[in-house]
Amino acid sequence: MNNGFDPFEEASLIVAHDDSNAYDAVVPPIVQTSLFTFTDYDDMIASYRGEKVRPIYTRGLNPTVRMFEDMLARLEGAEDAIGFASGMSAISSTVLTFVEPGDRIVAVRHLYPDAYRLFGTLLKRMRVEVTYVDGRDEEEVARALPGAKLFYMESPTSWVMETHDVAALAAIAKSHGVLTVIDNSWASPIFQQPIALGVDMVIHSASKYLGGHSDVVAGVVAGSKALIARIRGEAYPYLGGKLSPFDAWLLIRGLRTLPIRMKAHEQSTVAIARRLQAHAAVETVCYPGLANQLAPGLSGTSGLFSFIFREGINIRTFADQLEIFKLGVSWGGHESLIVPGEVVLAQKAQPNSAQAFGISALSIRLHIGLEGTEALWSDLEAAIIAATD
Ligand SMILES: *Cc1c(COP(=O)(O)O)cnc(C)c1O
């Protein structure tokens, strides 16, 4: 990696231009149709025989969706990609394509909560077992992998942002013949390219940075032609979690500015995380961008992180005093958001959040949006003062 290759420059070129839009339009059309008709019987039967690759029905193939998939595959340095109706649809369809009853998955701990719940409900019912490991402990990972079907990774992890040596973990999995998949939503292909690090499949919640405007829920998986073909041939058509043409069009629009947005998120977030770390009211900041050296394989850091207050802060007052930061889940858009850990711990669906996801009552998750850094910092500082008793 990195011998003259600049992922930012490369990505900026990929997202800037389309090859051949109708009418030489700069922006591609939305092919908003459910079905495609045939000129005659021979045309139809040739398509059904597979002699022609052409769209028949939008659940199978749609040109606007295909355009997004191609752009994302190029950004991830993958041979192919497949879009989904949500990140969870991408996760469940990928996992269900490659496991069967009696199989075992190894997953890093502190996963995205709904992925964890998928493993604990549907997969459990299918008799698929999951072993959780600390992804920072390569010996523990190596002990867990023999006999597993799939190694499910996330780096950094969702709330406490534990980072892993993705290339090292992928190599260990490969030596045991275990297929690897990583949720790369946090870093985006601008800051981490898992295919180049040896990972087999890369998943995104495209609802986050790929969309970037908080107006789409979507997902995507990138990988080799053979692996994507298996997903496309099995879980995708029958579970039916297809990406809509309009959402794909919004994602193409979002990708145009992905490289530059990621740089802006990084710059603001590093500044704010540093100031929080130096603040007397703050115990710890969980942000990979504060380390002296970034985790191997990571070339930058995005806008989502968490921190833990010391005792003596009224979390309700802190949250309500904020003016620019809005209370809200999700992240990756233009706007700054806050989720208090206490609120997540109060959710009835997940009595084990503290242990499973590393969330504490004094922790706060922030997404740093594209507003001015100084305005965001003033907002946080004022709210901390108001919330200190
Ligand atoms: C949001 C999120 C998902 C789920 O994506 P949806 O598009 O909401 O289904 C998966 N992984 C991570 C890390 C996420 O933050």
Task: Check if 205 has its Cβ closer than 6 Å to any atom of ligand 1.
Answer: yes
Q: Which one of 256, 288, 308 terminates a domain?
A: 256
Decide whether any atom of ligand 1 lies within 6 Å of the 112 Cβ: yes
Tell whether ligand 1 has an atom less than 6 A from the beta carbon of residue 88. Answer: yes
Instruction: Verify that 205 and 186 share a domain, yes or no.
Output: yes
pLDDT at position 319 over 70: yes
Residue 2 lies in a domain: no
pLDDT value at position 155?
97
Amino acid at the residue 356? A
Same domain, 219 and 272: no
Q: Atom 4 in ligand 1: which residue has the minimum CA distance?
A: 87
Closest CA to 133 of 142, 125, 141: 141
Q: In total, how many domains does the chain have?
A: 2
Residue 301, ligand 1, Cβ within 6 A: no
Q: Mean pLDDT in the chain?
A: 95
**Domain C-terminal end among 209, 238, 256:** 256
Please tell me whether residues 310 and 245 are part of one structural domain: no
**pLDDT tens profile 177-188:** 999 999 999 999
Is residue 314 in some structural domain? yes
CA neighbor of 298 nearest in space, from 98, 138, 136, 163: 163
Q: Relative to the CA of 186, which ligand 1 atom is closest?
A: 13
Measured from the Cα of 154, ligand 1's closest atom is 13
**Ligand 1 atom nearest residue 217's Cα:** 7
What is the predicted pLDDT for the residue at 4? 61
Mutate to test the pocket of ligand 1, among 84, 109, 114, 305 (most ligand atoms within 8 A of CB): 114
Q: Is 185 in the pocket of ligand 1 (CB under 6 A)?
A: yes
In a domain, 122, yes or no: yes
Q: Quote the CA–CA distance of 83 and 207 in Å, as a whole number.
A: 12
Same domain membership, residue 37 and residue 74: yes
Task: Assess contact for 108 and 135: CB atoms under 8 A.
Answer: yes
Nearest CA to ligand 1 atom 7: 87
CATH number of the domain that residue 378 is part of: 3.90.1150.10
Q: How far is the CA of 310 from the centre of ligand 1 (A)?
A: 29
Distances (CA, A) of 59 to 84, 129, 169, 230: 10, 31, 35, 16
248 shares its domain with 274: no
Domain region containing 355: 259-387
Can you give the CATH number for the domain in which 17 is found? 3.40.640.10
Q: How far apart are CA 388 and CA 324, in angstroms?
A: 19
Nearest atom in ligand 1 to 158's CA? 13
* Ligand 1 pocket mutation pick from 89, 93, 111, 112 by most atoms within 8 angstroms of CB: 112
Nearest to 195 by CA among 184, 211, 206, 210: 184
Q: How many CB atoms lie within 10 A of CB 115?
A: 21
Q: What pLDDT, on a 0 to 100 scale, did the predictor assign at position 358?
A: 85
Residues identified as active-site: 59, 112, 183, 208
Q: How far is the CA of 175 from the centre of ligand 1 (A)?
A: 29
Q: Are residues 96 and 242 in the same domain?
A: yes
For the chain, give the secondary structure using H, E and C. CCCCCCHHHHHHHHHHCCCCCHHHCCCCCCCCCCECCCCCHHHHHHHHCCCCCCCCECCCCCHHHHHHHHHHHHHHCCCEEEEECCHHHHHHHHHHHHCCCCCEEEEECCCCHHHHHHHHCHHHHCCCEEEEECCCCHHHHHHHCCCCCEEEEECCCCCCCCCCCHHHHHHHHHHCCCEEEEECCCCHHHHCCCCCCCCCEEEEECCCCCCCCCCCCCEEEEECHHHHHHHHHCHHHHHCCCCCHHHHHHHHHHHHCHHHHHHHHHHHHHHHHHHHHHCCCEEEEECHHHCCCCCCCCCCCCCEEEEEECCCECHHHHHHHCCCCEECCCCCCCCCEEEEHHHHHHCCCCCCHHHHHCCCCCEEEEECCCCCHHHHHHHHHHHHHHHEC
Same domain, residue pair 248 and 356:
no
Task: List C-alpha distances in Å: 377 to 101, 289, 304, 305, 374.
Answer: 50, 17, 15, 15, 5
**Rounded Cα distance, 80 and 379, in Å:** 43
Question: Would you say 302 and 186 are in contact if contact means Cβ atoms under 8 Å apart?
Answer: yes
| 241 and 136 part of one domain | yes
Q: Is 217 in the pocket of ligand 1 (CB under 6 A)?
A: yes
Ligand 1 touching residue 210 (CB < 6 A) = no
In a domain, 357, yes or no: yes
Instruction: Note whether 313 and 289 are same-domain residues.
Output: yes
For the segment 96-121, the average pLDDT, to the nearest whole number, is 96
Nearest CA to ligand 1 atom 12: 112
Which two three-digit tokens encode residue 288?
């990979």
- For residue 286, tell me if it sits in a domain: yes
- Considering the domain boundaries, does residue 337 fall inside one? yes
Which of 256, 271, 304 is the last residue before a domain boundary? 256
Residues 34 and 167 in one domain: yes
| pLDDT more than 90, % of the chain | 90
Residue with tokens 């500044």: 271
Is a pLDDT exceeding 60 seen at residue 2?
Answer: no
233 lies in the same domain as 270: no
Task: Judge whether 367 lies within some domain.
Answer: yes
Over residues 283-295, the pLDDT tens digits come to 999 999 998 999 9
Residue 341, ligand 1, Cβ within 6 A:
no
Q: How far is the CA of 185 from the centre of ligand 1 (A)?
A: 7
Would the pLDDT of 121 be above 90? Answer: yes
The Cα–Cα gap between 325 and 381 comes to 12
Q: Do residue 233 and residue 265 come from a single domain?
A: no
* pLDDT tens, position by position, 343-360: 998 887 655 667 788 899
**Per-residue pLDDT at 1 exceeds 50:** no
Q: How far apart are CA 129 and CA 187, in angstroms?
A: 28
Give a yes or no: residue 1 inside a domain.
Answer: no
Q: For the stretch 340-358, what's the b/e string if a residue is b when 16 or more beta carbons lie within 10 angstroms of its beta carbon? A: bbbbbbeeeebeebeebbb
pLDDT digits (tens, 9 = 90+) for 35-65: 999 999 999 999 999 898 899 999 999 999 9
